[in-house]
Copies of this chain bind each other. A is one copy, B any other.
Amino acid sequence: MVSRRNFMKNLSAIGLGAVALPHSMMGFSTASKEDKLKLGIIGVGLRGTEHLRNLLLREDIEVLAICDIDSNRLKIADELIQKAGRKPVRSFGSDELDYRNLLNMDELDAVIIATPWSWHVPMSVDAMRAKKYTGVEVSAATTLEGCWELVNTHLETGTHLMILENVNYRRDVLAVLNMVKKGIFGELVHFRCGYQHDLREVKFNNGKQPYGGGVEFGENALSEAKWRTAYSVNQNADVYPTHGLGPVAVMADINRGNRFLSVSSYATKAIGLHNHILDVGGPEHPNAKVKFKQGDVITSTIRTARDETIIVTHDCNLPRPYSLGFRVQGANGIWEVDGNRIYIQGESPEHRWEDASSILERYDHPLWKKYGELATGSGHGGMDFFVLNAFVEAARRRVAPPLDVYDAAAWSALTPLSERSIAQGGAPQDFPDFTKGSWESRPTLNWLSDRY
């Protein structure tokens, strides 16, 4: 009864108290104490806190521990936990390796890792070794060695890892996946996707606020600018491929009958971040001397075993509105997120685009039909609800997650492969087969269900 009350209270906090909920949505509020998934969160920066906030809305999980080397972030998290009426949790973060003490807690079933990218592999490896069902934020790894470490540790330990790619659960993306699996687009031929997001005010701030207000990065900055900007200085690569590539990979059955074969990548000049420093900080600011290696627009063309191509874009340093640039094209039709348009042969008027909205609504995914109203209150337009839901549901059952360690490795491998290709003037680079030959026989998942 308490759990039911809290659940309704939480719904009401996100503005859904008055909404009549379908019975199925009550499912996770009636989990018995023993069913509850016991969770730790490593990293409660902005992203980890967002997960915490969403997890606190669920009565079928208990957060037992959090870890951050920034005591201020621990404090913010503790306050959220208290405000949600939950029991106090254990805190870790006395040094950079204190997360291992969190992993030593026998009572934890699962952990979520939401730390800077360089920590994803060591923490995931340690978590799998500690037998914690592991959820890791994107991107999972930044090197090929890191990708292999994830896969091999999973094989050695039998512990599962899920890559927490929320865009795979975006409403339009899931509707299109639904259409793909129902064959509406016919045999698939070509895809486009990418991360096209003006991050200049994420990569630089004034050290007091997380976004903008100055042109500091590294030690003088706050939040992501503290660590993320270094990748723009040091690495000419698509350093953030999974928001685009994850959804496309699932549509294309990557690692399940298909795989990435090779990629060519090209980078443009790097002027966007330098210009931003000049504009905002002035030419005398010490950061005006920084040379950025990361080209402003990076284009990778991937070839798959089924003879499709995927164009992946990384475009984060120039003034531009956000777009993940999706395109899904098959023998029978095409969807493009830019312009929100679609064409289905035999259904659309000949040679004419249709507005995609009504068709995507018709193919709304069962998951969104079931949880859509509830999800809308969570972060990133509802995606965060679903990716956490999938993680929680898979972890509780101790079954393989829908976005697994092979996906994490294959998608993340674009970073080091694009770096090599760019350095070699666009020369194609082979993708490792992280499934070690099993990609041909691994069965596709049932993406038409409403389970997770």
Q: Is A294 an interface residue (CB 8 A)?
A: no
A424 (CB) vs chain B CBs: closest residue: B428
Q: Does A255 contact B (CB under 8 A)?
A: no
**Interfacial chain B residues near A189, Cβ < 8 Å:** 268-269, 271-272, 296-297, 318
- The A328-352 residues at the B interface (CB cut-off 8 A) are 329-334, 336, 338-341, 343, 345, 351-352
Assess the B303–A266 pair: CB atoms within 8 A. Answer: yes
Q: Identify which of A264, A267, A319, A425 gathers the most chain B CB atoms within 10 Å of its CB.
A: A319
- Within 8 Å by CB of A334, from B262, B318, B345, lies B318
Check if A392 is an interface residue, CB within 8 A of chain B: no
Cβ–Cβ < 8 Å partners of A79 in chain B: none
**Interface status of A321 (Cβ within 8 A of chain B):** yes
- A308 touches B (CB below 8 Å): yes
Q: List chain A positions with a Cβ less than 8 A from chain B.
A: 186-187, 189-190, 198, 262, 264, 266-269, 271-272, 275, 296-297, 299, 301, 303, 306-309, 311, 315, 318-322, 329-334, 336, 338-341, 343, 345, 351-353, 425-428
Taking a contact as CB atoms under 8 Å apart, the answer to whether A268 and B307 are in contact is yes
Q: Does A319 lie within 8 Å of B299, measured CB to CB? A: no
Q: A309-B268, A426-B428 are known contacts. Are A336 and B333 too (CB-CB below 8 A)?
A: no
Contact A266 B309 (CB under 8 A): yes
Q: Which of B264, B275, B318, B331 contacts A301 (CB 8 A)?
A: B264
Report the minimal beta-carbon distance from A252 to chain B, rounded to whole angstroms: 12
Q: Pick from B338, B352, B425: contact of A321, CB below 8 A.
A: B352
The 20 listed contacts between A and B (C-beta, < 8 Å) are: A189-B296, A190-B296, A262-B426, A264-B301, A264-B426, A267-B309, A268-B308, A268-B309, A269-B307, A269-B308, A271-B331, A299-B309, A303-B425, A311-B311, A318-B331, A319-B332, A321-B353, A425-B428, A427-B427, A427-B428
B426 A303 Cβ-Cβ under 8 A: yes
CB closest residue in chain B, given A298: B309
Q: Are B329 and A309 in contact (CB under 8 A)?
A: no
Residues of B within 8 A of A428 (CB): 264, 425-427
A88, chain B: closest CB distance, angstroms: 39
Q: Which residues of B contact A334 (CB under 8 A)?
A: 318-320
Is there contact, CB below 8 Å, between B319 and A345?
Answer: yes
Contact yes or no, A272 B331, CB < 8 A = yes
Sort A-B residue pairs by CB-CB distance and give the 5 closest, nearest first: A339-B339, A269-B307, A319-B345, A190-B297, A426-B428
Min CB distance A388 to B, Å, is 26
Measured in the bound complex, the distance between the Cα atoms of B321 and A301 in whole Å is 23
Residues of B within 8 A of A322 (CB): 351
Contacts of A299 in B (CB 8 A): 190, 301, 309, 311
Q: Is the CB of A198 within 8 A of B297?
A: no
Most buried by B among A190, A322, A353: A190
